[in-house]
Structure 1
Amino acid sequence: MSTFFDEMKTSFEAVPRKEGEISTLEFLEASESLVKLFDLLGSSAFSIVQSDMNGNINKVSSKFLSDPINCDTLQKLILTEVKEKGKKTATQGLLWLTRGLQFTAVAMRKCIDNQTWELSKCFESAYGETLTKYHSMLVRPVFKLAMKACPYRKDFFEKLGNDLTKVNEQLLAWVSSLESVVEEIMKFFESGNYGKGL
Protein backbone atom coordinates (compact mmCIF):
# COMPACT_ATOMS: atom_id res chain seq x y z
CA MET A 1 0.00 0.00 0.00
CA SER A 2 1.39 3.38 -0.95
CA THR A 3 1.50 6.30 1.46
CA PHE A 4 1.12 10.07 1.03
CA PHE A 5 4.92 10.30 0.87
CA ASP A 6 5.16 7.67 -1.89
CA GLU A 7 2.76 9.75 -4.01
CA MET A 8 4.83 12.95 -3.77
CA LYS A 9 6.27 14.18 -7.05
CA THR A 10 9.42 15.28 -5.21
CA SER A 11 10.28 14.97 -1.52
CA PHE A 12 12.54 17.42 0.28
CA GLU A 13 15.00 14.53 0.69
CA ALA A 14 15.39 14.48 -3.11
CA VAL A 15 16.15 18.20 -3.51
CA PRO A 16 19.75 18.49 -4.80
CA ARG A 17 22.05 20.68 -2.73
CA LYS A 18 25.50 21.38 -4.07
CA GLU A 19 27.83 23.29 -1.76
CA GLY A 20 24.91 24.62 0.23
CA GLU A 21 23.00 25.83 -2.85
CA ILE A 22 19.47 24.49 -3.25
CA SER A 23 18.19 23.46 -6.69
CA THR A 24 15.22 25.69 -7.57
CA LEU A 25 13.23 23.25 -9.72
CA GLU A 26 13.17 20.36 -7.24
CA PHE A 27 12.60 22.74 -4.35
CA LEU A 28 9.47 24.06 -6.10
CA GLU A 29 8.24 20.51 -6.82
CA ALA A 30 8.82 19.49 -3.19
CA SER A 31 6.97 22.61 -2.01
CA GLU A 32 4.01 21.81 -4.30
CA SER A 33 3.92 18.29 -2.84
CA LEU A 34 3.95 19.73 0.69
CA VAL A 35 0.94 21.98 -0.03
CA LYS A 36 -1.09 18.82 -0.75
CA LEU A 37 -0.58 17.86 2.91
CA PHE A 38 -3.13 20.53 3.80
CA ASP A 39 -5.73 18.70 1.66
CA LEU A 40 -5.47 15.84 4.17
CA LEU A 41 -6.32 18.23 6.98
CA GLY A 42 -9.65 18.36 5.19
CA SER A 43 -10.80 21.79 6.32
CA SER A 44 -11.64 24.69 4.06
CA ALA A 45 -10.10 26.85 6.80
CA PHE A 46 -6.69 25.73 5.52
CA SER A 47 -7.40 27.05 2.02
CA ILE A 48 -5.88 30.41 3.08
CA VAL A 49 -2.62 28.63 3.98
CA GLN A 50 -2.66 26.72 0.69
CA SER A 51 -3.47 29.68 -1.53
CA ASP A 52 -0.80 31.75 0.22
CA MET A 53 1.84 29.06 -0.32
CA ASN A 54 0.75 28.40 -3.92
CA GLY A 55 0.90 32.12 -4.68
CA ASN A 56 4.47 32.27 -3.39
CA ILE A 57 5.45 29.12 -5.30
CA ASN A 58 4.15 30.83 -8.46
CA LYS A 59 6.24 33.96 -7.81
CA VAL A 60 9.43 31.91 -7.47
CA SER A 61 8.47 29.68 -10.40
CA SER A 62 7.83 32.63 -12.76
CA LYS A 63 11.27 34.05 -12.06
CA PHE A 64 12.91 30.64 -12.49
CA LEU A 65 11.14 30.02 -15.83
CA SER A 66 12.08 33.48 -17.09
CA ASP A 67 15.80 32.86 -16.42
CA PRO A 68 16.46 29.17 -15.66
CA ILE A 69 20.24 29.41 -16.07
CA ASN A 70 20.83 32.27 -13.62
CA CYS A 71 18.10 31.09 -11.26
CA ASP A 72 18.87 27.35 -11.14
CA THR A 73 19.50 27.56 -7.39
CA LEU A 74 17.53 29.58 -4.84
CA GLN A 75 20.66 31.46 -3.82
CA LYS A 76 21.37 32.51 -7.43
CA LEU A 77 17.73 33.51 -7.90
CA ILE A 78 17.93 35.91 -4.95
CA LEU A 79 21.27 37.32 -6.13
CA THR A 80 19.90 37.76 -9.68
CA GLU A 81 17.04 39.87 -8.33
CA VAL A 82 19.46 41.89 -6.17
CA LYS A 83 21.58 42.63 -9.28
CA GLU A 84 18.55 43.64 -11.33
CA LYS A 85 17.67 46.29 -8.73
CA GLY A 86 13.98 45.99 -9.62
CA LYS A 87 11.05 44.60 -7.68
CA LYS A 88 12.12 41.58 -5.68
CA THR A 89 8.92 39.63 -6.34
CA ALA A 90 10.50 36.16 -6.35
CA THR A 91 12.70 36.91 -3.33
CA GLN A 92 9.64 38.07 -1.41
CA GLY A 93 7.73 34.97 -2.56
CA LEU A 94 10.58 32.72 -1.45
CA LEU A 95 10.81 34.42 1.94
CA TRP A 96 7.11 33.96 2.65
CA LEU A 97 7.07 30.43 1.21
CA THR A 98 9.99 29.52 3.49
CA ARG A 99 8.11 30.90 6.48
CA GLY A 100 5.13 28.72 5.53
CA LEU A 101 7.41 25.69 5.16
CA GLN A 102 8.98 26.43 8.55
CA PHE A 103 5.52 26.60 10.14
CA THR A 104 4.65 23.19 8.61
CA ALA A 105 7.99 21.68 9.68
CA VAL A 106 7.60 22.89 13.27
CA ALA A 107 4.00 21.59 13.45
CA MET A 108 4.91 18.15 12.09
CA ARG A 109 7.99 17.95 14.34
CA LYS A 110 5.70 18.60 17.32
CA CYS A 111 3.47 15.75 16.10
CA ILE A 112 6.46 13.42 16.01
CA ASP A 113 7.87 14.48 19.39
CA ASN A 114 4.55 14.62 21.26
CA GLN A 115 2.67 11.43 20.46
CA THR A 116 -0.26 12.37 22.71
CA TRP A 117 -0.83 15.84 21.21
CA GLU A 118 -3.75 16.36 18.90
CA LEU A 119 -3.01 18.05 15.56
CA SER A 120 -4.69 21.32 16.52
CA LYS A 121 -2.30 21.68 19.48
CA CYS A 122 0.74 20.93 17.24
CA PHE A 123 -0.33 23.52 14.66
CA GLU A 124 -1.39 26.17 17.19
CA SER A 125 1.92 25.84 19.01
CA ALA A 126 3.87 25.98 15.71
CA TYR A 127 1.93 29.07 14.60
CA GLY A 128 2.83 30.84 17.86
CA GLU A 129 6.51 30.06 17.28
CA THR A 130 6.71 30.93 13.59
CA LEU A 131 4.17 32.88 11.53
CA THR A 132 2.29 34.86 14.16
CA LYS A 133 5.05 37.50 14.46
CA TYR A 134 4.78 38.28 10.73
CA HIS A 135 0.99 38.42 10.61
CA SER A 136 -1.23 41.43 11.21
CA MET A 137 -4.07 41.53 13.71
CA LEU A 138 -6.45 40.86 10.81
CA VAL A 139 -4.72 37.72 9.57
CA ARG A 140 -4.04 36.03 12.92
CA PRO A 141 -7.67 35.10 13.74
CA VAL A 142 -8.07 33.50 10.29
CA PHE A 143 -5.05 31.27 10.88
CA LYS A 144 -6.09 30.48 14.44
CA LEU A 145 -9.48 29.37 13.14
CA ALA A 146 -7.74 27.03 10.69
CA MET A 147 -5.72 25.44 13.52
CA LYS A 148 -8.86 24.72 15.50
CA ALA A 149 -10.34 22.95 12.47
CA CYS A 150 -7.61 20.28 12.36
CA PRO A 151 -8.86 16.68 12.21
CA TYR A 152 -8.09 14.20 14.98
CA ARG A 153 -4.53 12.95 14.96
CA LYS A 154 -5.64 9.35 14.40
CA ASP A 155 -7.75 10.28 11.33
CA PHE A 156 -4.95 12.38 9.84
CA PHE A 157 -2.36 9.62 10.20
CA GLU A 158 -4.76 7.14 8.58
CA LYS A 159 -4.94 9.47 5.57
CA LEU A 160 -1.14 9.48 5.36
CA GLY A 161 -1.19 5.71 4.85
CA ASN A 162 -2.30 2.34 6.22
CA ASP A 163 1.13 1.15 7.30
CA LEU A 164 1.76 3.35 10.34
CA THR A 165 5.31 2.14 10.88
CA LYS A 166 6.21 3.09 7.30
CA VAL A 167 4.33 6.41 7.59
CA ASN A 168 6.18 7.34 10.79
CA GLU A 169 9.58 6.51 9.24
CA GLN A 170 8.80 8.51 6.09
CA LEU A 171 7.38 11.44 8.08
CA LEU A 172 10.51 11.65 10.20
CA ALA A 173 12.83 11.57 7.15
CA TRP A 174 10.66 14.13 5.31
CA VAL A 175 10.47 16.55 8.27
CA SER A 176 14.23 16.29 8.90
CA SER A 177 14.96 17.16 5.24
CA LEU A 178 12.40 19.97 5.27
CA GLU A 179 13.94 21.46 8.44
CA SER A 180 17.40 21.30 6.89
CA VAL A 181 16.27 23.03 3.65
CA VAL A 182 14.41 25.75 5.59
CA GLU A 183 17.45 26.37 7.80
CA GLU A 184 19.70 26.67 4.73
CA ILE A 185 17.39 29.23 3.06
CA MET A 186 16.90 31.27 6.25
CA LYS A 187 20.66 31.36 6.78
CA PHE A 188 21.19 32.70 3.27
CA PHE A 189 18.53 35.39 3.73
CA GLU A 190 20.21 36.49 6.97
CA SER A 191 23.73 36.41 5.48
CA GLY A 192 22.96 39.32 3.13
CA ASN A 193 19.88 40.75 4.85
CA TYR A 194 17.99 39.87 1.63
CA GLY A 195 14.59 39.85 3.32
CA LYS A 196 14.82 43.48 4.43
CA GLY A 197 11.60 45.35 3.77
CA LEU A 198 9.90 42.36 2.06
Structure 2
Amino acid sequence: MALQNNEKFDIKIVYDKFEAALHEEDDIHLQFYLESFEELNKFFTLMGTVFGFVSKDLKAKMDILNEFLKDSNKSENFITVKKMIEYEKQNELLNKKGYTSGSRTLLRLHRGLDFIQLFLKKLGDLRDEESTSSACREAYDQTLAKHHPFVIRNGAKVAIYTLPTREILLKKVCGELDNIQKAMNLLPETLEVTAVVHTRIEKLYTVHDLHRLP
Protein backbone atom coordinates (compact mmCIF):
# COMPACT_ATOMS: atom_id res chain seq x y z
CA MET A 1 0.00 0.00 0.00
CA ALA A 2 2.02 2.94 -1.30
CA LEU A 3 1.28 6.36 0.17
CA GLN A 4 2.26 9.85 -0.93
CA ASN A 5 4.98 11.52 1.16
CA ASN A 6 2.58 13.99 2.77
CA GLU A 7 -0.33 11.58 3.17
CA LYS A 8 -1.48 11.03 6.76
CA PHE A 9 -4.11 9.04 8.61
CA ASP A 10 -7.53 10.72 8.84
CA ILE A 11 -9.70 9.26 11.59
CA LYS A 12 -12.73 11.23 10.37
CA ILE A 13 -12.81 9.11 7.23
CA VAL A 14 -12.90 5.98 9.40
CA TYR A 15 -15.78 7.40 11.42
CA ASP A 16 -17.79 8.68 8.44
CA LYS A 17 -17.42 5.51 6.37
CA PHE A 18 -18.23 3.13 9.23
CA GLU A 19 -21.25 5.28 10.07
CA ALA A 20 -22.36 5.05 6.43
CA ALA A 21 -21.73 1.28 6.44
CA LEU A 22 -24.49 0.63 8.98
CA HIS A 23 -27.30 -0.88 6.89
CA GLU A 24 -30.80 -1.53 8.26
CA GLU A 25 -30.80 -2.96 11.79
CA ASP A 26 -28.21 -5.72 11.52
CA ASP A 27 -26.27 -5.47 8.27
CA ILE A 28 -23.12 -3.79 6.90
CA HIS A 29 -22.70 -2.10 3.52
CA LEU A 30 -19.52 -3.70 2.17
CA GLN A 31 -18.27 -0.78 0.03
CA PHE A 32 -18.31 1.71 2.90
CA TYR A 33 -16.76 -0.89 5.20
CA LEU A 34 -13.85 -1.34 2.80
CA GLU A 35 -13.39 2.42 2.37
CA SER A 36 -13.11 2.80 6.14
CA PHE A 37 -10.76 -0.15 6.38
CA GLU A 38 -8.55 1.38 3.69
CA GLU A 39 -7.99 4.37 5.99
CA LEU A 40 -7.41 2.17 9.03
CA ASN A 41 -4.83 0.23 7.09
CA LYS A 42 -3.12 3.51 6.23
CA PHE A 43 -2.52 3.91 9.98
CA PHE A 44 -0.41 0.75 9.99
CA THR A 45 1.33 1.56 6.71
CA LEU A 46 2.43 4.90 8.17
CA MET A 47 3.84 3.12 11.21
CA GLY A 48 6.45 1.65 8.84
CA THR A 49 7.89 -1.81 8.33
CA VAL A 50 7.01 -2.78 11.90
CA PHE A 51 3.46 -3.45 10.75
CA GLY A 52 4.19 -4.80 7.31
CA PHE A 53 2.95 -8.20 8.48
CA VAL A 54 -0.49 -6.69 9.16
CA SER A 55 -0.94 -4.06 6.44
CA LYS A 56 0.08 -6.21 3.46
CA ASP A 57 -2.21 -9.05 4.48
CA LEU A 58 -5.17 -6.73 5.07
CA LYS A 59 -4.59 -4.94 1.75
CA ALA A 60 -4.63 -8.26 -0.12
CA LYS A 61 -7.98 -9.16 1.48
CA MET A 62 -9.46 -5.74 0.64
CA ASP A 63 -8.38 -6.13 -2.98
CA ILE A 64 -10.22 -9.46 -3.26
CA LEU A 65 -13.47 -8.00 -1.91
CA ASN A 66 -13.16 -4.88 -4.07
CA GLU A 67 -12.89 -7.12 -7.14
CA PHE A 68 -16.22 -8.72 -6.27
CA LEU A 69 -17.79 -5.26 -6.01
CA LYS A 70 -16.35 -4.21 -9.38
CA ASP A 71 -17.60 -7.32 -11.19
CA SER A 72 -20.91 -6.33 -12.80
CA ASN A 73 -22.00 -9.99 -12.90
CA LYS A 74 -21.50 -10.49 -9.17
CA SER A 75 -21.62 -7.11 -7.45
CA GLU A 76 -25.32 -7.23 -6.53
CA ASN A 77 -24.61 -10.31 -4.38
CA PHE A 78 -21.90 -8.47 -2.46
CA ILE A 79 -23.60 -5.18 -1.64
CA THR A 80 -23.91 -6.08 2.03
CA VAL A 81 -22.27 -8.63 4.31
CA LYS A 82 -25.55 -10.46 4.86
CA LYS A 83 -26.21 -10.72 1.11
CA MET A 84 -22.71 -12.03 0.48
CA ILE A 85 -22.93 -14.73 3.15
CA GLU A 86 -26.40 -15.86 2.05
CA TYR A 87 -25.39 -15.91 -1.63
CA GLU A 88 -22.26 -17.97 -1.01
CA LYS A 89 -24.05 -20.38 1.33
CA GLN A 90 -27.03 -20.92 -1.00
CA ASN A 91 -24.73 -21.55 -3.96
CA GLU A 92 -22.36 -23.77 -1.98
CA LEU A 93 -19.39 -21.50 -2.71
CA LEU A 94 -17.86 -21.32 0.77
CA ASN A 95 -15.65 -24.36 0.23
CA LYS A 96 -15.75 -24.63 -3.55
CA LYS A 97 -12.40 -25.56 -5.05
CA GLY A 98 -10.88 -22.78 -7.14
CA TYR A 99 -13.24 -20.13 -5.76
CA THR A 100 -12.03 -17.39 -3.44
CA SER A 101 -14.82 -16.94 -0.90
CA GLY A 102 -15.78 -13.37 -0.03
CA SER A 103 -17.14 -14.56 3.32
CA ARG A 104 -13.86 -16.26 4.21
CA THR A 105 -11.89 -13.21 3.06
CA LEU A 106 -14.02 -10.85 5.14
CA LEU A 107 -13.54 -13.08 8.19
CA ARG A 108 -9.80 -12.38 7.97
CA LEU A 109 -10.49 -8.62 7.81
CA HIS A 110 -12.92 -8.96 10.69
CA ARG A 111 -10.16 -10.44 12.84
CA GLY A 112 -7.92 -7.57 11.81
CA LEU A 113 -10.58 -5.08 12.85
CA ASP A 114 -10.74 -6.72 16.26
CA PHE A 115 -7.03 -6.04 16.67
CA ILE A 116 -7.18 -2.49 15.30
CA GLN A 117 -10.03 -1.32 17.52
CA LEU A 118 -8.44 -2.78 20.65
CA PHE A 119 -5.04 -1.23 19.87
CA LEU A 120 -6.58 2.19 19.17
CA LYS A 121 -8.55 2.00 22.42
CA LYS A 122 -5.39 1.22 24.39
CA LEU A 123 -3.52 3.96 22.50
CA GLY A 124 -6.16 6.47 23.59
CA ASP A 125 -5.61 5.52 27.24
CA LEU A 126 -1.83 6.09 27.17
CA ARG A 127 0.06 9.24 28.12
CA ASP A 128 2.27 10.85 25.49
CA GLU A 129 5.52 9.71 27.11
CA GLU A 130 4.43 6.07 27.47
CA SER A 131 5.61 3.38 25.08
CA THR A 132 3.00 1.91 22.73
CA SER A 133 4.64 -1.51 22.53
CA SER A 134 2.93 -3.03 25.61
CA ALA A 135 -0.49 -1.83 24.47
CA CYS A 136 0.09 -3.20 21.00
CA ARG A 137 1.38 -6.53 22.29
CA GLU A 138 -1.66 -6.95 24.55
CA ALA A 139 -4.02 -6.14 21.67
CA TYR A 140 -2.19 -8.55 19.36
CA ASP A 141 -2.12 -11.38 21.92
CA GLN A 142 -5.85 -11.03 22.54
CA THR A 143 -6.81 -11.00 18.84
CA LEU A 144 -4.67 -11.79 15.79
CA ALA A 145 -2.14 -13.95 17.63
CA LYS A 146 -4.87 -16.58 18.07
CA HIS A 147 -5.00 -17.03 14.30
CA HIS A 148 -1.32 -16.69 13.38
CA PRO A 149 1.19 -19.55 13.23
CA PHE A 150 4.17 -19.58 15.60
CA VAL A 151 6.64 -18.04 13.13
CA ILE A 152 4.43 -15.00 12.45
CA ARG A 153 3.63 -14.56 16.15
CA ASN A 154 7.33 -14.51 16.98
CA GLY A 155 8.13 -12.02 14.23
CA ALA A 156 5.25 -9.80 15.29
CA LYS A 157 6.37 -9.71 18.91
CA VAL A 158 9.91 -8.73 17.94
CA ALA A 159 8.58 -5.96 15.68
CA ILE A 160 6.13 -4.69 18.29
CA TYR A 161 8.96 -4.35 20.82
CA THR A 162 10.48 -1.56 18.69
CA LEU A 163 7.39 0.69 18.77
CA PRO A 164 7.96 4.25 20.08
CA THR A 165 6.12 6.40 22.62
CA ARG A 166 2.56 7.48 21.91
CA GLU A 167 3.69 11.03 21.12
CA ILE A 168 6.21 9.94 18.49
CA LEU A 169 3.85 7.37 16.98
CA LEU A 170 0.99 9.86 16.61
CA LYS A 171 3.28 12.44 15.01
CA LYS A 172 4.41 9.86 12.48
CA VAL A 173 0.87 8.73 11.68
CA CYS A 174 -1.18 11.93 12.01
CA GLY A 175 1.39 14.66 11.37
CA GLU A 176 0.80 18.14 12.80
CA LEU A 177 -0.22 18.67 16.44
CA ASP A 178 -3.60 20.02 15.33
CA ASN A 179 -4.32 16.80 13.42
CA ILE A 180 -3.30 14.71 16.42
CA GLN A 181 -5.67 16.64 18.68
CA LYS A 182 -8.55 16.25 16.23
CA ALA A 183 -7.86 12.52 15.99
CA MET A 184 -7.82 12.07 19.77
CA ASN A 185 -11.03 14.10 20.15
CA LEU A 186 -12.83 11.95 17.61
CA LEU A 187 -11.36 8.64 18.81
CA PRO A 188 -14.12 7.78 21.36
CA GLU A 189 -16.92 8.24 18.80
CA THR A 190 -14.93 6.36 16.19
CA LEU A 191 -14.40 3.45 18.57
CA GLU A 192 -18.15 3.40 19.29
CA VAL A 193 -19.19 3.08 15.65
CA THR A 194 -16.35 0.63 15.01
CA ALA A 195 -17.68 -1.54 17.83
CA VAL A 196 -21.16 -1.52 16.28
CA VAL A 197 -19.73 -2.58 12.90
CA HIS A 198 -17.64 -5.30 14.53
CA THR A 199 -20.59 -6.61 16.58
CA ARG A 200 -22.89 -6.79 13.55
CA ILE A 201 -20.38 -8.82 11.54
CA GLU A 202 -19.64 -11.00 14.57
CA LYS A 203 -23.35 -11.80 14.93
CA LEU A 204 -23.79 -12.59 11.22
CA TYR A 205 -20.91 -15.05 11.32
CA THR A 206 -22.28 -16.58 14.51
CA VAL A 207 -25.80 -16.98 13.08
CA HIS A 208 -24.41 -18.69 9.97
CA ASP A 209 -21.79 -20.65 11.96
CA LEU A 210 -18.90 -19.35 9.87
CA HIS A 211 -16.29 -18.44 12.49
CA ARG A 212 -14.43 -21.67 11.83
CA LEU A 213 -14.09 -21.23 8.08
CA PRO A 214 -10.66 -22.67 7.13
Q: Which amino acid aligns with 2:77?
A: N
| Partner SS state of residue 75, structure 2 | coil
Counterpart of 2:116?
A: 104
Counterpart Cα distance in 2 of 1:138 and 1:4: 29
Cα distance between partner residues in 2 of 1:7 and 1:115: 22
Pick the aligned partner of 2:76 from 53, 69, 76. 69
Closer, same or farther: CA 162–14 of 1 in aligned 2, 3 Å: farther
Specify the alignment match of 1:171 in structure 2.
Answer: 187
1:24 and 2:30 matched: yes
Tell me the CA shift for residue 47 of structure 1.
Answer: 1.1
CA distance, structure 1, for counterparts of residue 189 and residue 8 of structure 2: 14
SS of residue in 2 equivalent to 1:38: helix
CA distance in 2, matches of 1:5, 1:173: 14
Structure 2 residue 91 is the aligned partner of structure 1 residue 84: yes
- Partner SS, residue 157 of structure 1: helix
| 1:103–1:130 Cα contact (<8 Å) kept | yes
- 2 CA distance for matches of 1:105 and 1:6? 12
Change (3 A) 1:154 1:180: same
Instruction: Show the counterpart of 1:162.
Output: 177
**Identity rate of aligned residues, in percent?**
26
Q: Which ranges of structure 2 fall in alignment gaps of 5 or more residues?
A: 1-6
Identify the residue that residue 59 of structure 2 maps to in structure 1. 54
Secondary structure of the equivalent of 1:195?
A: coil
Letter of the aligned partner of 2:165 in structure 1?
Y
User: Which consecutive segments of 4 or more residues in structure 1 shift more than 4 A?
Assistant: none
Cα displacement (A) at 1:108: 0.7
Contact 2:18 2:36 in 1 (8 A): yes
Q: Provide Cα deviations, 1:150-176, integer angstroms capped at 9, x if missing partner.
A: 232101222424224322112222222
- What residue in structure 2 maps to residue 187 of structure 1? 203
Given the two structures, how large is their TM-score scaled by the length of structure 2? 0.82
Of 40, 46, 54, the match for 1:34: 40
Answer yes or no: is 1:139 the counterpart of 2:145: no
Give the TM-score normalised by structure 1. 0.88
RMSD: 2.3
Question: Structure 1 residues 182-191 or 58-67, which shifts more?
Answer: 58-67
Q: Secondary structure at the match of 1:36?
A: helix
- In 1, are the aligned partners of 2:11 and 2:183 still within 8 Å (CA)? no
1:119 aligned onto 2:132: yes
- 2:10 is aligned to 5
Cα distance between partner residues in 1 of 2:201 and 2:103: 11
Cα deviations by residue, 1:115-149 (Å, 9 ceiling, x for unpaired) = 37421111100011111111111221122123123
